[in-house]
């Protein structure tokens, strides 16, 4: 026991450290609070007896915070600034991303960047991306782990379990994925897009979904230009391993053929987090009428707001 304590002075377990690798391997940068809400959602319902929300958060995130501390000691993670609300941002080092690739069963070449420096300006966009993932995941608490908790805690957790199911697992999500219009997957050229999130959850009837999160700072024209980059990527064709030309996205992801054997066009989900000065309604209309989001091949654009939970959607193409 003394040897384990010396190796991991914060007392973390292999399970807690694996939780951190799973979440940060997928999200790249996150707070201890977000890591806990995804990996141990039952803890969200505990410690309600603590006097302040800050004390409650400190108690429910303690185990994952300890794991992060031990991982820093081993050179697997690092602190990367803080959010606008003062939460410390965490990300993996290159060594940590390599370890996460084993946990997520992903090639190391597809793990992406370490997100170093993301917190230099508060990381409002990465945090919105993370909250989008959590909203789609809807992590369900393990009721067995709350068997000894007070009835009101169990009731709150039961309500969450009885709520709508989420989509996929944390391993279903990929963030900061380059979509090269030129160049290769590992060395993208200029003019391409970068998907905030790519979701692959065929077990939940979502074989492939691209997600773009917008904090309403950009103009509708700027957003439409970004969607045109998506369309440009979707139109790009390359030779596959059998020597035949296929859409480039088909060489990395799969999606079932539509009726009559038609080639599907991947959908793009727009998520509006209304913290900027731009309005959602005007942006939806401008994007829907722009060349980049109209016509065959542009897929489906849907807009959702994180702040209200309501959705507004429009179809193009």
pLDDT tens, 278-302?
565 555 555 555 555 544 444 444 4
pLDDT at position 160 is: 95
- One DSSP character per residue, 43-77 reads GGGS-TTSSSHHHHHHHHTHHHHHHHHHHHHTTSE
Structural tokens at position 229: 């980059």
pLDDT tens, 29-83?
999 999 999 999 999 999 878 889 899 999 999 999 999 999 999 999 999 888 8
Residue 175 and residue 114: Cα distance in Å, rounded?
11
Please, what is the angle between helix 62-73 and helix 53-60, to 10°? 60
DSSP-based three-state secondary structure for 301: strand
**The model's pTM:** 0.86
| Residue 93 CA, distance from chain mean position | 18
pLDDT at position 299 is: 47
- Tokens 């103009």 locate to 219
Residue 184 and residue 182: Cα distance in Å, rounded?
7
Beta bridge partners of 245: 239
Q: Are strands 173-179 and 237-239 parallel, antiparallel or unpaired?
A: unpaired
Mean pLDDT of 132-153: 95
- One DSSP character per residue, 119-180 reads BTTT-HHHHHHHHHHHHHH-PPP-GGGGTTS-HHHHHHHHHHHHS----S-GGGEEEEEEE-
| Residue 147 CA, distance from chain mean position | 31
Of the CA atoms within 13 Å of residue 66, those in its CB half-sphere come to 17
């Amino acid at each position: 026991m003394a040897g384990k304590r010396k190796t991991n002075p914060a007392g973390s377990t292999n399970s807690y450290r694996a939780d951190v690798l799973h979440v940060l391997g997928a999200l790249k940068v996150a707070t201890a609070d977000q890591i806990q809400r995804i990996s141990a959602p039952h803890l969200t319902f505990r410690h309600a007896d603590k006097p302040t929300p800050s004390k409650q958060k400190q108690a429910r995130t303690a185990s994952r915070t300890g794991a992060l501390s031990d991982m820093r000691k081993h050179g697997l993670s690092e602190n990367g600034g803080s959010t606008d609300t003062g939460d410390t941002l965490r990300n993996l080092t290159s060594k940590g991303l390599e370890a996460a690739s084993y946990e997520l069963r992903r090639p190391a070449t597809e793990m992406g960047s370490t997100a170093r420096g993301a917190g230099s300006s508060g990381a409002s966009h990465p945090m919105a991306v993370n909250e989008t993932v959590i909203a789609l995941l809807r992590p369900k608490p393990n009721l067995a782990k709350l068997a000894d908790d007070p009835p009101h805690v169990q009731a709150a957790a039961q309500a969450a379990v009885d709520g709508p199911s989420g989509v996929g697992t944390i391993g279903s999500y990929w963030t900061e994925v380059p979509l090269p219009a030129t160049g290769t997957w590992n060395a993208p050229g200029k003019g391409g897009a970068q998907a905030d999130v790519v979701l692959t959850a065929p077990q939940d009837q979502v074989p492939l979904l691209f997600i773009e999160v917008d904090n309403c700072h950009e103009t509708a024209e700027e957003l439409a230009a970004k969607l045109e980059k998506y369309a440009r990527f979707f139109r790009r064709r390359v030779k596959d391993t059998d020597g035949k030309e296929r859409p480039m996205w088909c060489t990395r992801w799969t999606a079932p053929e539509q009726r009559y054997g038609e080639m599907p066009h991947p959908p793009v989900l727009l998520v509006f987090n209304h913290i900027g000065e731009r309005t959602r309604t005007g942006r939806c209309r401008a994007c829907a009428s722009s060349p980049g989001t109209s016509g065959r091949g542009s897929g489906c654009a849907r807009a959702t707001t994180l702040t209200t939970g309501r959705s507004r959607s429009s179809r193009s193409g």
